[in-house]
Amino acid sequence: MIASLCLFCGSRPGFDPAHAETARALGRWCAGNRVRLVYGGGGIGLMGEAARACLAAGGEVVGVIPRSLMCEEVAQAGLTAMHVVETLHARKALMHDLSDAIVALPGSIGTLDELFEAMTWRELGISARPIFLVGANGYWQPLVALLAHLDAQGFAPPGLLALTEPLATVEALAVRLLAAAPAPKAAPDNR
């Protein structure tokens, strides 16, 4: 079983209340299973929902936030630890290094940036961390279709479609995380 989970998700709640409930369910699951939640450090949107739910259930939450976003993303108070970094790249690298697996909940281009970089690191062999996509009501289906399109058009590297695993619920994610082995921490730093 993994010890820590990296969460990529939106700094907005989105229109569908199911996304906020998914974020809260993930936070509660992490707390209940003693899995440290590592996320972007914000107190707004889905990020804040997941962090507060984990903390409220007695879990451990580690935030990683760029100095320039501390006000914009309203840094969440009361975290187990907060790392303030200088760049978005440093944020992604540290979140990755502190985690055994990665999950992306709904979000916008920032979430996609984090997700695609993690996928690239996995595809290049820089990381072996599993990557899961969890979203209610088919949120990730268009992305999965785009990845299949890249593959069908001959632009995808071998195994592109296997770099992530789309799941519909936190319960489905829990099954996969309970079976996952912790990822090696000593990945080469050639990001």
Q: Rounded to two decimals, what is the model's pTM?
A: 0.92
Looking at residue 1, its pLDDT comes to: 78
Please give the Cα distance from 176 to 173 (Å, whole number): 5
Enumerate the domain spans of the chain: 4-179
Low-confidence ranges of the chain (pLDDT < 50): 186-188
CA 23 to chain centre: 11
Domain 4-179 top-level CATH class: alpha beta
Residue 5, beta-bridge partner list: 37, 101
Task: Please name the residues in contact with 174: beta carbons below 8 A apart, sequence gap of 6 or more.
Answer: 29, 33
> In degrees rounded to 5, what are phi and psi of residue 109?
-65, -30
Please give the Cα distance from 170 to 175 (Å, whole number): 9
pLDDT in tens, 86-135: 999 999 999 999 999 999 999 999 999 999 999 999 999 999 999 999 99
